[in-house]
A and B are shown apart, each in its own frame.
Chain A
Amino acid sequence: MDMMFQFVAMTLKLSIPLVLGAMCGTIAERGGIILLGVEGLMLIGAFSGVLGSYLTGNAYMGLLLSMAAGAVLGLLYAMFCLKLRAHQSVVGVGVNMFASGLTAVLLKVFWQREGMTDPVVSVKNVSVPGLKDIPVLRVLFHDQSPYLYLTFLIVLGVWFVFYRTKAGLRYRAIGEQPFAAQTSGINVNRYRYVAMAAAGMIAGIGGSFLSLSQNNLFVVDMVAGRGFMGLAANIFGGWSPLGSLGAGMIFAVAQSARFYLPDIHIPTQFVQMLPYALTLFILLFVGKKAKGPEALGQLVS
């Protein structure tokens, strides 16, 4: 039972960056922007989180800085895609590389060395009094990262905006039929800019989880593929907020299984392959439903 508890607790923790990365992808792609740069957005978030905490001595200022940096980079990303009409997949590759290089350069500027920063004040785990003693739900409330609650709030918020507001309906229409949306008087690009800022902000939060909650420092390239895995979760979850949440959780199970599998003889590489294999399977064999938004990559003038 204790082992089970630890397993679930670890799965929840590992799901946070994946779900947030997936949410970032869902937001951008439902509006028709191909977002391969989740990885880079998260890396910038991870670095600015540590930087904010280092400069102010307050981990939550780090979180705020990571959100701001993510939003700014998201807007720049959108500018490249929408105003400068750049090849969207290529911009993603460029942003990932840019984030990797820039964070390594800035690391040396602020800490005079390569590789990793000094430890900074991190976001402490919390236990919710009262709730932490309920038998099964305990796992949600005992020694958990505040980021977990933030993640649930974000998923809920995105779901609400997407399916319960007029703006969300319009935004989803933009992702399917941007020209029709434009003809009906919707300012397509304004919606897309706002969405990209939100997507960047959420990716920034996901990145700062890695550096401020899971660790207390920044390591070069510490996102290590979680952005792409989040993107896969977004596809696996059918480009929807709740689907992304579920897929992120499933992928996290595979991730945390690694720590509990040494007894069972499955090589870790095969466990790590699972998210990508599942997503590939869905993409290749489940047919039309797994195609994503109709107008992915389409621009309006």
Chain B
Amino acid sequence: MKTRLKSFAGDLGSSLFSILIALAIGALIILAIGENPAEAYQALFKGALGSSQSFANTLSKMIPLAFTGLAVALGQRGGMLNIGAEGQLYAGAMATTLFALTFPGLPAIVMVPMCLITGFLAGMLAGAIPGYFKAKHNTSEVIVAIMLNYLITLFTSWLVNGPFKAPGSVSQTNPIPAGAMLTKIWGNSQLTTALFLLILFAAVQYLFLWKSAKGFQLRAVGGNRFASISAGIKADRMMILTMMLSGGIAAMAGSTEVMGKYGCFIDGFSPSFGFTGIAVAILGRNHPIGVLLTAFLFGVLDTGALRMGRVTNVSANIIVVVQSLVILLVSAPEIIKFFKRTKEG
């Protein structure tokens, strides 16, 4: 237990280190543009954390990223890269919306959980396909999921532009009933009870992975598929289950956006939550706590970037550069080792 905590802390240390390097490179770019990095970053953090409302908006921004991050992290623990979170979250969002529109009369106490469950099931279905073909035919789950991302996104786009389009020029569905909406919990901000759902999911994921037999099997398959088979684990079934759960969790990113923010399904609403989730998971070392922390950090960057873009001449997109550098740095452990060596020697 103790050594595990210690190694997790060490991992978090290198994650923090990667973030600092990425921010430093970002500062160099800002400097090269001819702007003041200190001023830009100050605007960024002020925009994200400066008032209680902006803090709440940051928390609200982190929720979809944390869900996709948890999803990718679970897949990674099971030895698979779930690059399909983007499609899965669209599947979840659409399923949730359609359920709410089909049964508008349900009381909130039934409606909210049923909307979430429908979304989760849709995500599980979307995750099952790459999981099944990886387990049974060893087809790359990455490629299958990329194709599915496009297929699902285009299919939901057809639904929202065709059969379920609301009157008017915008590509969105009719509003879902008020009973299906999550409750706002912080003044004028966009923060809703989705935050509690997120914390619940993170806690359950932790307990499942490290305190349950199934979770142990999942990690065993992820560690070494063939050794786990020798140990009597049904690795095939475990891999399919992993991708299904991962898909379901990713779907929560979409469902909570619909139920918490938009109140309807909007065509192409996700700014790559699924792909950013990969960064969040890897930076958070595939640990639920790490995922929450890094999702918060990414939420800070996203919220603050808007203000930075307003008060300085730096494009808000510099944040995308910083986030991508973080991905690249943590994807290559050798870099961190290199920096540590030069520091010591």
Contact = CB atoms under 8 A, between A and B. Distances in A.
A97 B323 contact: yes
Contacts of B314: 105, 108
B191 interface: no
B161 A90 contact: no
Given A80-B332, A94-B328, A97-B327, A104 B147 contact: no
Dominant SS among interface residues on chain A: helix
B83 A280 contact: no
A273 B155 CA distance: 8
Interface in B96-116: none
Given A267-B158, A277-B151, A280-B148, A93 B327 contact: yes
Contacts of A235: 143
A228 B332 contact: no
Interface residues of A, number: 46
A83 B322 CA distance: 22
Contacts of A89: 81, 83, 142
Contact of B321 (A34, A98, A269): A98
Dominant SS among interface residues on chain B: helix
12 contacts: A89-B83, A90-B331, A96-B275, A97-B272, A100-B317, A105-B317, A105-B318, A269-B154, A269-B157, A270-B158, A273-B150, A283-B140
B335 interface: yes
Given A101-B322, A104-B320, 17 more contacts: A84-B335, A87-B282, A90-B278, A91-B328, A93-B279, A97-B323, A100-B320, A104-B315, A114-B315, A231-B146, A235-B143, A269-B157, A269-B161, A270-B158, A283-B139, A284-B139, A291-B138
Contacts of A291: 138-139
B162 interface: yes
Contacts of B161: 267, 269
Interface in A3-61: 34, 36
B319 interface: yes
B133 interface: yes
A98 B323 CA distance: 8
Given A91-B328, A109-B33, A280-B144, A97 B317 contact: no
A120 interface: no
Best-surrounded residue of A102, A105, A291 (most CB of chain B within 10 A): A105
Contacts of A94: 279, 324-325, 327-328, 331
B147 A84 contact: no
Contacts of B150: 225, 228, 272-273, 276
Contacts of B313: 108
Interface string B276-293: 101100100000000000
A101 B317 contact: yes
A287 B157 CA distance: 31
B328 A98 contact: yes
B285 to A, nearest CB: 13
Given A89-B81, A105-B29, A108-B313, A97 B275 contact: yes
Contact of B315 (A86, A108, A272): A108
Contacts of B334: 83-86
Best-surrounded residue of B81, B150, B318 (most CB of chain A within 10 A): B150
Nearest to A232: B147
Contacts of A102: 321
